[in-house]
A and B are shown apart, each in its own frame.
Chain A
Amino acid sequence: MKRFMAQHAADLVQLVHEAIKPAAFVAHVRGSGDGAMVVFDGFVRDHSRNRQTLYLEYEAYEPMALAKMHEIAANIHEQFSVHAVAMVHRLGRLEIGETSVFIAISAPHRAAAFDACRYAIDTLKRVVPIWKKEYFEDGSVWADGEMPPVPSATPAPETAS
């Protein structure tokens, strides 16, 4: 059963197939009542386990990935005193140095923004159905990933931690 997740009007959650322009997301979440913003910019590294990376390809189960990203944003508002969340992940082929994921979180005070941003990227990497394939000179591999936690057959009421 799908839980209804309230979406905050100031939030922005996207999957994109073209270059991420951080300035647009930063501007989107910045409010006059805020005093801080924490951003996370994840970009493509030129190596992986001592091998030189040529490029990456990301794919997603798009509707489910978007739903999970909206869930993360909603959970952030339940757990942290923040104003707005922008979260975008890019799909398709990415070259070295290009941004794959960008998160910007604004808040009246910095502590909540730091905590929420850390929660956002850690949770995204654990639960959002996106997959990364790494391409090298001599072949390609699917990156090691994490198994998302599966609710039990009779879900208990969720509590904010």
Chain B
Amino acid sequence: MPLAATIGAGYNPQMPSVSQTIRVRVLFFGRLKEIAGCAEECLDFPATADIASLFAQYVSRFPLLQQYRSSIVVSRNQELVPWHSPLSSGDEVAFLPPVSGG
């Protein structure tokens, strides 16, 4: 079937526009994983959000996270980035406590 014929054919007008929300994969490690009670989850989030506001949303669910905020670094797609970095759909975000390998 030609692609053009399918565009809009199954469109459900009640679905939110893809431009309004994005889906990101969120990972927690170390003590943050214990506080959040999970290692990872997928989350739908406003497209205008940055990593800091994503974290703020988790703080509202798990207030204990806030006391570790100043010692956490964040990664987006496995690269360390500043807190106010924007997010795109499909991004993998991780909250990393101070590292202690070796």
Contacts of A131 in B (CB 8 A): 29-30, 97, 99-101
Interface residues as binary, A3-40 with B (CB distance below 8 Å gives 1, 0 otherwise): 00000000000000000000000000000000000000
Q: Which residue on chain B has the smallest CB distance to residue A91?
A: B101
Q: Is the CB of B101 within 8 A of A60?
A: yes
Is the CB–CB distance between A124 and B102 below 8 Å? yes
CB distance from B31 to the nearest CB of A (A): 5
The 8 A CB mask of A32-66 against B (1 = contact, 0 = none) is: 00000000001000000000000000111101110
Contact assessment for B99 and A127 in the assembled complex, using a CB-CB cutoff below 8 Å: yes
B29 touches A145 (CB 8 A): no
- Chain A, residue nearest B30 (CB): A131
Across the interface, do A89 and B101 meet the contact criterion of CB distance under 8 Å? Answer: yes
Question: Is A150's beta carbon under 8 Å from chain B?
Answer: yes
Asked if A148 and B102 make an inter-chain contact with CB atoms under 8 angstroms apart, the answer reads: no
- Whether A150 and B100, one on each chain, are in contact in the complex, defined by CB atoms closer than 8 angstroms, is no
| Interface residue? B85 (CB, 8 A) | yes
Cβ-based interface call for B12 (8 A) = no
Judging by beta carbons under 8 Å apart, are B78 and A152 in contact?
A: no
C-alpha gap A65/B80 in the complex (Å): 12
> Are A147 and B98 CB-contacts (below 8 A) given A63-B78, A152-B82?
yes
Knowing A59-B29, A61-B29, A64-B94 touch, does A132 contact B78 (C-beta < 8 A)?
no
Minimum Cβ distance to chain A for residue B34 (Å)? 9
Question: Could you tell me the distance between the alpha carbons of A142 and B102 in the complex, rounded to whole angstroms?
Answer: 14
- B74 nearest in chain A by CB position: A150
Q: Is A151 an interface residue (CB 8 A)?
A: yes
Interface set of B (CB-CB < 8 Å, partner A): 27, 29-31, 71, 73-75, 77-82, 84-85, 94, 96-102
Instruction: List the interface of chain A (C-beta within 8 A of B).
Output: 1-2, 42, 58-61, 63-65, 67, 89, 100-101, 121, 124-133, 142-153
